[in-house]
Amino acid sequence: MKYISTRGEAPVLEFSDVLLQGLARDGGLYLPETWPQFDADTIASFAGKPYADVAFEIIRPFVAGAIAEDTLKEMIVDAYAGFRHPAVTPLVQTGANTFILELFHGPTLAFKDVAMQLLGRMMDHVLAERGLRATIVGATSGDTGGAAIEAFRGRERTDIFILFPDGRVSNVQRRQMTTPAEDNVHALALTGNFDDCQAIVKGMFNHFAFRDKVRLSGVNSINWARILAQIVYYFVAGAALGAPHRKVSFTVPTGNFGDIFAGYAAMQMGLPVEKLIVATNVNDILARTLETGRYEKRGVTPTISPSMDIQVSSNFERLLAEVCGRDGDAVRRMMNQLGQSGSFTIEDGPQAAMRAVFGAGRCNEAETAATIAETYAEAGYLLDPHTAIGVHVAKQHEDGSVPMVVLGTAHPAKFPDAVEEAAGVRPDLPENLKDMMSAEERQQVLAAEQGVVERFIEEHARAVTAGV
Ligand SMILES: Cc1ncc(COP(=O)(O)O)c(C=O)c1O
Ligand SMILES: N[C@@H](CCOP(=O)(O)O)C(=O)O
């Protein structure tokens, strides 16, 4: 499988290079040249299979030639062995034809673990084969950081630097980043918002002298391998609910558009999906774009669903490339306009192509809290604020005839204050995570400036200080 950049000007790469590169060198994001196809019999055969078996089938064509099949299988089995539920991503029925796909049974209680546990193993493998070290960077609004640190802590070949907005993540999220004691872990609290952190990460990838000096790799969903691992659970849920003989809809709490883009990829690979619904909080740039065709940045408002407090949604570029027929010039024009004026307009054809697949809705703070309270009162099910946004928006789009799956993206115990305030019940952390709440914290507070972050990384990355 070969990979091409959304902006069409970066070298075409194989999987291992895409895995290590993160952002393409033309500023774009990598996409597979073609979508592997899964026929109806294959999709039907996924029902009831162990998660790791389905994951192997789905992931294999994307990494063909880069990682030996038996090694890949071992990595996948190992990645999911530590999840707290034997189904890895179980489906829970909460209404007549409504389901929650629980994606939070991994080590840090967020859907990010599903991809990150595999990504860490894949990167280690490729780096060991090449005899290299890498410097991993990531921007987080709360969950990516903890999941990435968990996946990379103590790994000999990588140092990990996670940028998060100081004071804008929950206590549990912050402690997941600041309490690991391994010296390859660096939690950087920046005096800005998530978009500032993400812009600095992209800026560092576009600063080639720095990028090459520290051997920069990325763990945000700009990295194709993140999306790849997330495609699996769409097939698992779809097959469990009757695909390919029955269509399924998915509502996805959305910020950086990575999780829902994985659903789009599943659809391109043959999964019969009726609709993919984007659910946003009041930071609703994606809902507005799908409604109006105009992508327009506004200020970020802090909410009780902090992981979705995002305006610049990096994977939306992958969708733009798809609906523009992989026209790199068109994508580059829109991204340049965004950089220059903070907005761009999508042409009618691509807009219509988006609306054929995606619906959208938003959920404000009061609605989020009310959904948590109602769902607990009616079904005895405690939602985290992000999943609650999905449940609220799903209700606007359900038609009863097609199963609606809401992606359960985080465990309520990651946001105990917001959940207790809404439902009157304080969700408890699993036993093995409780120590973290009294452990010593280690973080570096830095100005949200690319130069400041680069200097810190250069001083601490072993790819520089100990050679590559
Ligand atoms: C709990 C939670 N829900 C939803 C999202 C949004 O996912 P995505 O950025 O892939 O759209 C995030 C952050 O990414 C998250 O941490
Ligand atoms: N919501 C995310 C933001 C980063 O998203 P990613 O999927 O691109 O890593 C978070 O919790 O950090």
Longest dimension (CA), the chain: 60
With a cut of 70, say whether residue 467 has pLDDT above it: no
CA dist 429 and 433 (Å) reads 6
Task: Give the mean model confidence (pLDDT) for residues 92-106.
Answer: 96
Evaluate: CB of 108 within 6 angstroms of ligand 2.
no
Question: Before 302, cis peptide (omega within 30)?
Answer: no
User: How many angstroms is it from 409 CA to the middle of ligand 1?
Assistant: 7
- Other C-beta atoms lying within 10 Å of the C-beta of residue 427: 16
E strand map for 140-266: 158-165, 185-190, 216-218, 248-253
Q: Which of 374, 371, 402 is nearest to 388 (CA)?
A: 371
Distance between CA atoms of residues 354 and 440, nearest Å: 47
For the stretch 314-335, pLDDT in tens is 999 999 999 999 999 999 999 9
Q: Compute, in angstroms, the gap from residue 240 CA to the centroid of ligand 1.
A: 23
**Whether the predicted pLDDT of 400 surpasses 90:** no
Locus of tokens 């109806």? 40
Residue 221 has φ and ψ, to the nearest 5°, of -75, 5
| C-alpha to C-alpha distance for 270 and 231, rounded to whole angstroms | 12
Ligand nearest the Cα of residue 145 is 2
Give 451's contacts (C-beta < 8 A, 6+ positions apart): none
d(CA 56, CA 275) in angstroms, rounded, equals: 26
Q: Show the ligand 1 pocket: residues with CB < 6 angstroms.
A: 110, 142-143, 221, 253-259, 307-308, 386, 409-410
Sequence-ordered list of residues with C-beta below 8 angstroms from that of 57, at least 6 positions apart, any chain: 38, 42, 46
Residue 463 has pLDDT above 80, yes or no: no
Question: pTM of the entire structure?
Answer: 0.97
Per-residue pLDDT, 90 = 98
69: which strand partners?
A: none
User: Does 258 contact ligand 2 (Cβ within 6 A)?
Assistant: yes
Q: Measured between alpha carbons, how far is residue 304 from residues 191, 368, 419 in Å?
A: 19, 8, 9
Of 434, 408, 443, nearest to 102 by C-alpha is 408
28 touches ligand 2 (CB under 6 Å): no
Residue 262: pLDDT band with limits 50, 70, 90: very high
Q: Which atom of ligand 2 is nearest to the CA of 142?
A: 11
**Which residue, among 75, 458, 372, has the nearest Cα to 229 in the 3D structure?**
75
Structure confidence by residue, pLDDT tens digits, 199-240: 999 999 999 999 999 999 999 999 999 999 999 999 999 999
Contact yes or no for 247/402 (Cβ under 8 A): yes
Among 285, 284, 279, 292, which Cα is nearest to 351's? 292
pLDDT band of 464, cuts 50, 70, 90: confident
Distance CA 215, CA 206 (A): 13
- Provide the pLDDT for residue 120: 97
Buried-exposed string 231-270: b where 16+ CB fall within 10 A, e elsewhere: bbbbbbbbbbbebbeebbbbbbbbbbbbbbbbbbbbbbbb
User: Do 457 and 214 meet the contact criterion of CB atoms below 8 Å apart?
Assistant: yes
Q: What is the pLDDT of residues 282-294, one digit of tens each?
A: 999 999 999 999 9
Q: Is omega for the bond preceding 385 within 30 degrees of 0, making it cis? A: no
**Positions marked catalytic:** 112
d(CA 404, CA 340): 39
The closest of 460, 436, 451, 452 to 161, measured between CA atoms, is 460
Asked whether 235 and 262 are in contact (CB, 8 A), the reply is no
Region of 257 (left: φ > 0; alpha: ψ -120 to 50; beta: rest) is left
Please give the C-alpha separations between residue 312 and each of 151, 285, 288, in angstroms, as whole numbers. 25, 8, 13
The Cα 383–Cα 391 span in angstroms is 9
Which of 148-180 are b and which e, b meaning 16 or more Cβ less than 10 Å from the residue's Cβ? bbbbbbebebbbbbbbbbbebbbebbbbbbbbb
468 has a pLDDT exceeding 80: no
CA of 257 to the centre of ligand 2 (A): 9
Looking at residue 158, its pLDDT comes to: 97
In the chain, % of residues over pLDDT 70: 99
- Quick: pLDDT tens for 14-36: 999 999 998 999 999 999 999 99
Encoded amino acid at 254, one letter: T
Beta-bridged to residue 92, according to DSSP, are 100
Give the residue ranges of DSSP H helices in 64-192. 69-81, 112-130, 143-152, 171-178
The reported pLDDT for the residue numbered 399 is 86
> In this structure, which amino acid lies at residue 440?
E
CB 102 within 8 A of CB 390: no
* Ligand 2 geometric centre to CA of 222 (Å): 10
What is the rounded distance in angstroms from the CA atom of residue 157 to the CA atom of residue 20?
12
Is the distance from the beta carbon of residue 98 to the nearest atom of ligand 2 less than 6 Å? no
The residues with which 134 forms a beta bridge, in sequence order, are 158
> Looking at the predicted structure, is the pLDDT value of residue 466 above 70?
no
CA distance 260 to 190: 27
